[in-house]
Amino acid sequence: MEMTGIPFGTTDWSAITPEEHTGETGAAFWRTQNFGGIRVRLVEYTPGYLADHWCVKGHILFCLEGELHTALEDGREFTLTPGMSYQVADNAEPHRSSTPQGAKLFVVD
């Protein structure tokens, strides 16, 4: 990732209107900023959220609150708690997220 042409700035995430994305169950609320070709999001999942698809987009993801369960299409499973992160490249390993209790994440992709 090369970051060019982005002047210094700050983001008040509470001032960004969240967009709802429904899952197979539950919902995700995205507050999104774009900086050149880089998308940065604050994402909140409702308790009981399960993604409705296998994602192939690359991300760097940091868990701020709650607990996020991530399944890989090959059967491996991972749990993130506050202070943990994961990273995955585009088209590398399809993944699908869920959360029994809800979670808040910071995502760069």
CATH code, 68? 2.60.120.10
Closest CA to 45 of 88, 89, 80: 80
What's the predicted TM-score (pTM) here? 0.93
Domain assignment present for residue 10? The answer is: no
Q: Residue 89 sits in which domain range?
A: 19-108
Q: How many domains does the chain have?
A: 1
DSSP 41-82: EEEEEPTTEE-SS-B-S-EEEEEEEE-EEEEETTS-EEEE-T
Domain assignment present for residue 5? The answer is: no
Domain assignment present for residue 53? The answer is: yes
DSSP state of 17: P
Reply yes or no on whether the pLDDT at 106 is more than 80: yes
Tens of pLDDT, residues 2-20: 788 888 999 999 999 999 9
Closest CA to 59 of 89, 104, 33, 82: 89
Domain assignment present for residue 14? The answer is: no
Domain assignment present for residue 79? The answer is: yes
